[in-house]
Amino acid sequence: MSTGKGFGKTILIGDQFVLWEVPAILAAIPFETECTVERLKTGSGWILDDKRIEVPGYKKAKEKDCRASFDRMVEVMELDLENNPIKISVEGDLLAGSGVGASAAICVSFARACNKEFALNMDILDINHVAWEGEFGYHGLPSGLDNTVSSYGGVIKYRIKDDVKQFERINLSKPIEIVLGNSGVTANTASLKGFLEEQEKEDSELFNGRLDTIKSQVEELGKALSRDDLKETGSIMNKNHKILIEMGLSHEKLIYLCDKAVSLGAYGAKVTGGGRGGYMVALTPGKELQEKVAAQFESEGIATIRATIGGTPTDETKFQILK
């Protein structure tokens, strides 16, 4: 019996456009999915015991995706489960819901557990690759964003350039408090690429102009974070969210939550993840501000996560070309 873990995540900017070679800045959050792999004496293949806490309906909605994901990772790792059947148990304090990297965390945790149980001798680069393969089950063509930060932790700037996936670390002087609020809407991330391709087809000049603006915002936000300018970081998040709203990538509930957070003093707020549902993220430096926003959300029945970004990464990798 062996266990592995994977971090949840939040994306500060660039969420939906990595496949268009727009960089994104994202951070692991200190909530994890834990996977235990246990060999069985009878049967064949794998069985799943999913004990994760969830946004109501999430696990049912993702059931087929989850099965496709595990099957793909088993194939990639070349596990002989016909002769070595396993029970997969998943739990942890990461809420299973759209926008916090729930699918990536389960993929990373499973890859790590199998690496130990079957002595596969995979390094973190290999584990990240297996998790990326697993993400195909959920996302059609995954960008690699979520599994990378789930594997490596910390705050990173991630990009795909000429089909090469890579990331570099952004170092913060200290962890920063954030609030994540859930819209209660389970988004279909797999349909996102087609949704954006339609926009590009309808008006390529407008689409590409927006992407150029977002690229500039990503660079500006990275610099602001690096110099601890959180007011500027929040301002850029707000501006970015306006573009996402114009592109149909937010949701009326997310817009409400972002506006509410800013009215309560959050430095910035925007949709996080694929959008059109799932979570929003509010930048709320300091425990007092974080609690003010989170408590108000909870008083309105909003599923809320208090988290920090910029904690200790999984390893000390500063820059990495990925598989």
Q: Are residues 25 and 160 in the same domain?
A: yes
Q: Are residues 57 and 181 in the same domain?
A: no
Q: Are residues 140 and 198 in the same domain?
A: no
Predicted local distance difference test score (pLDDT) of residue 189: 65
Q: Which domain holds residue 253?
A: 176-309
Q: Are residues 296 and 243 in the same domain?
A: yes
DSSP 201-256: HH-HHHHHHHHHHHHHHHHHHHHHHHTT-HHHHHHHHHHHHHHHHHTT-S-HHHHH
Alpha-carbon distance 143 to 124, whole Å? 18
For residue 143, the tally of other CB atoms under 10 A from its CB is 26
Q: Are residues 151 and 249 in the same domain?
A: no
Q: Are residues 164 and 123 in the same domain?
A: yes
pLDDT in tens, 211-262: 999 999 999 999 999 999 999 999 999 999 999 999 999 999 999 999 999 9
Query: 81, exposed or middle or buried, with CB in 10 Å at 0-12, 13-18, 19+?
Result: middle
Q: Are residues 188 and 294 in the same domain?
A: yes
The CATH number linked to 231 is 3.30.70.890
Q: Are residues 209 and 165 in the same domain?
A: no
pLDDT in tens, 170-194: 999 999 999 999 898 876 666 777 8
Q: Are residues 152 and 217 in the same domain?
A: no
The CATH number linked to 13 is 3.30.230.10
Q: Which of 249, 239, 233, 242 is nearest to 183 (CA)?
A: 249
Q: Are residues 228 and 291 in the same domain?
A: yes
How many domains is the chain partitioned into structurally?
2
Q: Are residues 86 and 130 in the same domain?
A: yes
C-beta of residue 290 within 8 angstroms of C-beta of residue 284: yes
C-beta of residue 239 within 8 angstroms of C-beta of residue 216: no
pTM comes to 0.90
Q: Are residues 152 and 183 in the same domain?
A: no
Kindly list the distances between the CA atom of residue 261 and the CA atoms of 27, 178, 265, 269, in Å, as whole numbers in the listed order: 20, 11, 7, 7
